[in-house]
Each structure stands twice: as structure tokens, then as C-alpha cells.
């Protein structure tokens, strides 16, 4: 299997552990990735907050590049990027005059572009039975709280993936690995997203509630699929513990970490040894 | 987020219904909003509240009337776009330097300036810090996209 690949800035920046994990894990499954040549930033929250045209144009440029490079299906592992790409596709599809205008802005034909996939959809494409059969090291001591955050499932009219209030797709993947995902209430609550620098207390409060609910629900780790969620829950966990006055010590794994570990890869190969909260007794 | 907001999404939408666009544009809440999309997903009347928040931020930014109380968020978003305009991709160190520098220039808060300083060494240890950020090859087209979209000029 081969997919086009739009890493986005985070995976080439301080979330490079996610990219390492993703590449190691997908390689072990025989999946190859073709990175979109000369991709640009999707604009993220800054673009959709300050400039509507940019918020459509930046993703549109990437979709046009991918299309021109013969990409039919493209993995965008960062939910911010994938939501922005999908939103641009939907906005442009519904508005032909805007499509012409944006084509002139981005100096490329804008005609839909590839099908944009998140990382869970890649594992669904592999097939849960095939994944189960490939497991070398069942994750029997893992009791993860599968955390979706916002943009994997919201807004449903844009991303059209799983259930916006009670998603189960990540639980299905980790269950295939032998893990026992816990039932919990905060799987789609926001972690504070890109407020990490500008307004840290927002992150401390929102992410604190997520960690508290995961711990109270019997989880011994979290599994995420978003680089920003990982930053807030892992890198900021010590600050959160200080803020809420409660010790969590909950390792936060990318979904590709846990799949990779079940396939027999080590934490060092996956980059999971570079997280802030070190693995507990579940690993 | 709504409990912390001066005007939660429901009240923002009501203000707009009543024709008080000014009041909505001056609300702190439009900059406290984390764009989690929950209000749009749950609105029983199918109002895309998150898109309304986006539109209000865009207009407030254009008119230079963004909430002073939430100035840091505005400065951060603007620094983010400036960074993309120059490099095509985000350079995190440049972004942090530009953001912290601009905030310090405005409010002279030393604690805020050094708030995350300890993290740099921690990130470095984990090979997560890139002193030289990536740049796309075709930065000309990125600059032209920004120019045509009228982006980040304020």
C-alpha cells in the first residue's frame, strides 16, 4: 500500500517523535509514504482566525500540489491539517466562482485533489483482522484512554469521520492489539489546542480535566492521534500536575506508538523514548 | 471554554441577531475561543457558531479592534502567519522569539518572557528542537498567495 503524505509543520518540528513513530509503524506494516513535494503550511488556527481567504488558499495549494504529483489518497496525520484540507475541499466544491478565484491566488488548478485520510483510517484500510494477525506482542497490560480531541471528529459536516460525540474507531484499533481501552467521558473534550504559548492556563485547566477523567476511569495511559494534543497532555503534564495539585504520571502514546509496540517495535525505534512522561508498568 | 467567556457563543449569536455587531466584535470571548467546534456540532439550530467566531475574529483583526485583554492571542496568531509568509512552513523557534519579543515590548512582563524558557533544554534533550527551521523551495509563491489574500499585513 502506498499513500501520499502531508506531514504538516508539527511533525517536521517539535512533534518529530510522531513522524518517527508513524514511519516506523507503517513501514512495519509494508505501507510506503510519498511525501508531497514542497508542501506548505495549512495555515492552522492562525489563518482561519485572521484571514478567511488564506485559510482556504493555503490548503488549496497543497491539494493542487498533491494532485499534480499524481496523489490519489493522502495521509494527513495532524487533525488540524486534515480538517483544514477537508474544509477547503468542501468550500471549493460548493463554490465554483471561489474556486476560480483561489486558483488564481495559488497559481494552480484547484479541482478537488486527493482523498484526505487520518491515521485511524490508514489502520482501518489495513484491516483490523490483518492488524490482529500481525501482532507479535499483545498489549495485554495496556488500559488506554483513547483520546480523539476535537478535529478528528469535529465538525462532522467537514471531517465526516466516526461519531462526533461517542467515537469508537481508536478503541477498535487498540482492542485489536490486545489492549483494554477504558470507557471514559472526556474523549472529545478540547485539550486547549494552540493556546499552549499564548494562554497556558487554558491548556492547564482543560488538559487537567482530561487527565483527571482518564485517571479516574482506570486508564494507565492515553492514546492520541494529534501532535498538539500530545504536546499539551505529555509535555505540559508536569505543569498540569502542579496546576491542579494532583499527580497523574500517565504516559501519552501516539496511536502509531501502540500499534508499533504490538508489532514488536521498541520504544527507541518509535521515538516513544523521547516523550516527557516515561512509560509506566503497562509497557 | 464557555464558562470563562464574557459572552459565550449563544450570547454572541444573540447579539448578532439583535444587530449589535460592535458588541460582538469587542467581546473577549472571540479570542478565548479555542476553535474546538463543539458549539457548531451541538447547536440545535444548526448555527455554525465556530465559523461565526472565525468571521468575528477576522473582522475585528482587519479593523484593529481586537480585545485588548486577549492581545497575546492576537499577537501569537499574527506572528504565526508572518512566519509562514516568510518560510512557507512554521519555524517554531522564530515564532516563539517573535511572539515573546512582541508581547514583552507591549507589557514588559519578565515572568511571561521566561515562562517557557526551561522547556527549551528539555526539548533539546529529546531532539525536538530545530535550530534551523525548514523552508519551502518556492517561497515566492507563498509570498504571492499572502499578498493576494491580503494576509497578515496589519
One domain, residues B18 and B46: yes
> Are B144 and B76 contained in the same domain?
yes
Interface confidence (ipTM) of the complex: 0.94
- Residue B120 and residue B134 in one domain: yes
Contacts of B48 in chain A (CB under 8 A): 155
Instruction: Give a yes or no: residue B154 inside a domain.
Output: no
CA distances from B66 to A51, A256, A279, B31, B109 (A): 14, 40, 43, 8, 20
DSSP character at residue A146: E
Same domain, B78 and B112: yes
The total number of structural domains in chain B stands at 2
Please, which residues 62-101 of chain A have a Cβ atom closer than 8 Å to chain B? none
Indicate yes or no: pTM above 0.90.
yes
Contact A198 B123 (CB under 8 A): no
Residue stretches of chain A with pLDDT short of 50: none
**A101 contacts in B (CB within 8 Å)?**
none
CA distance A42 to A44: 6
Chain B residue nearest residue A83, CA to CA: B37
Last residue within a domain, chosen from B62, B81, B101: B62
Chain B residues with CB under 8 Å of A150 CB are 35-38
What is d(CA A56, CA A40) in angstroms, rounded to the nearest whole number?
13
Residue boundaries of the structural domains of chain A: 2-117, 134-274
CATH number for A2-117 (one of 3.40.720.10, 1.20.1050.140, 3.50.50.60, 1.10.10.60): it is: 1.20.1050.140
Q: Do B129 and A14 touch (CB under 8 A)?
A: yes
Last residue of a domain, one of B62, B86, B111: B62
Find which of A50, A88, A232, A234 to mutate to test the B interface (most B CBs within 10 Å of its CB): A50
Residue in the block written with cell 482561519: A48
d(CA A276, CA A206): 19
CB–CB contact A54 B55 (8 Å): no
Same domain, B94 and B39: no
pLDDT at B71: 87
- A78 with A62: CB under 8 angstroms? no
Determine, for residues A16 and B127 on separate chains, whether the beta-carbon distance falls below 8 Å: yes
pLDDT in the model for residue A146: 98
Residue B106 counted as domain residue? yes
Residue B23 lies in domain: 2-62
**Do B82 and B55 fall within a single domain?**
no
* CATH number for the segment(s) A134-274: 3.40.50.11810
Q: Judge contact between A188 and A150, C-beta under 8 A.
A: yes
Could you tell me if B53 and B115 lie in one domain? no
Same domain, B50 and B93: no
Contacts of B38 in chain A (CB under 8 A): 150, 154, 190
Residue of B50, B58, B94 for testing the chain A interface, max A β-carbons within 10 Å:
B58
d(CA A219, CA A222): 7
Q: Show the CA angle centred on residue A149, arms to residues A193 and A247, nearest 5°.
A: 80
Say if B16 falls within a structural domain: yes
Q: Would B112 be classed as within a structural domain?
A: yes
B87 and B119 housed in the same domain: yes
CA distance B141 to chain A (A): 7
Mean pLDDT by 10 residues, chain B (154 residues): 86 97 95 95 96 96 86 93 97 92 87 81 89 92 96 50
d(CA A110, CA A108): 6
Amino acid at each position: 500500500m502506498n499513500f501520499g503524505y502531508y506531514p504538516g509543520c508539527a511533525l517536521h518540528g517539535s512533534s518529530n517523535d510522531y513522524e518517527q513513530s508513524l514511519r516506523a509503524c507503517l513501514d512495519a506494516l509494508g505501507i510506503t509514504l510519498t511525501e508531497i513535494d514542497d508542501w506548505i503550511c495549512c495555515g492552522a488556527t492562525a489563518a482561519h482566525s485572521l484571514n478567511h481567504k488564506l485559510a482556504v488558499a493555503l490548503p488549496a495549494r497543497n491539494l493542487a500540489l498533491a494532485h499534480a504529483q499524481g496523489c490519489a489518497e493522502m495521509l494527513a496525520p495532524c487533525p488540524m491539517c486534515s480538517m483544514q484540507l477537508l474544509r477547503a475541499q468542501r468550500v471549493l466544491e460548493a463554490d465554483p466562482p471561489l474556486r476560480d478565484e483561489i486558483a488564481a491566488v495559488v497559481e494552480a488548478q484547484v479541482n478537488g485533489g486527493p482523498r484526505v485520510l487520518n491515521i485511524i483510517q490508514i489502520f482501518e484500510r489495513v484491516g483490523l483482522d490483518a492488524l490482529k494477525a500481525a501482532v507479535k506482542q499483545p498489549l495485554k497490560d495496556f488500559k488506554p484512554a483513547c483520546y480523539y480531541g476535537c478535529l478528528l471528529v469535529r465538525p462532522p459536516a467537514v471531517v465526516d469521520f466516526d461519531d462526533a460525540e461517542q467515537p469508537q474507531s481508536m478503541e477498535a484499533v487498540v482492542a485489536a492489539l490486545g489492549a483494554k481501552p477504558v470507557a471514559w467521558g472526556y474523549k472529545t473534550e478540547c485539550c486547549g489546542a494552540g493556546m499552549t504559548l499564548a494562554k497556558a492556563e487554558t491548556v492547564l485547566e482543560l488538559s487537567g480535566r482530561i487527565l483527571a477523567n482518564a485517571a479516574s476511569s482506570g486508564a494507565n495511559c492515553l492514546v492520541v492521534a494529534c501532535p498538539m494534543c500530545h504536546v499539551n497532555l505529555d509535555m505540559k503534564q508536569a505543569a498540569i500536575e502542579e496546576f491542579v495539585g494532583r499527580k497523574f504520571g500517565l504516559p501519552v502514546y501516539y496511536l502509531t506508538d501502540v500499534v508499533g509496540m504490538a508489532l514488536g517495535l521498541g520504544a527507541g525505534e518509535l521515538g516513544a523514548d523521547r516523550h516527557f512522561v516515561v512509560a509506566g508498568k503497562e509497557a | 471554554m464557555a464558562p470563562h467567556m464574557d459572552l459565550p457563543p449563544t450570547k454572541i449569536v444573540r447579539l448578532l441577531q439583535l444587530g449589535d455587531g460592535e458588541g460582538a466584535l469587542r467581546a473577549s470571548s472571540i479570542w478565548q475561543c479555542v476553535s474546538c467546534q463543539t458549539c457548531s456540532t451541538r447547536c440545535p439550530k444548526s448555527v455554525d457558531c465556530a465559523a461565526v467566531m472565525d468571521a468575528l475574529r477576522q473582522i475585528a483583526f482587519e479593523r484593529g479592534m481586537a480585545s485588548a485583554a486577549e492581545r497575546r492571542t492576537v499577537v501569537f496568531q499574527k506572528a504565526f502567519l508572518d512566519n509562514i509568509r516568510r518560510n512557507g512552513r512554521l519555524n517554531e523557534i522564530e515564532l516563539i522569539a517573535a511572539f515573546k519579543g512582541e508581547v514583552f515590548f507591549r507589557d514588559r512582563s519578565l515572568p511571561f518572557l521566561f515562562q517557557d524558557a526551561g522547556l527549551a533544554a528539555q526539548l533539546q534533550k529529546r531532539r525536538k528542537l530545530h535550530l534551523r527551521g525548514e523552508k519551502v523551495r518556492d517561497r515566492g509563491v507563498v509570498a504571492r498567495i499572502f499578498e493576494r489574500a491580503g494576509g497578515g499585513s496589519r
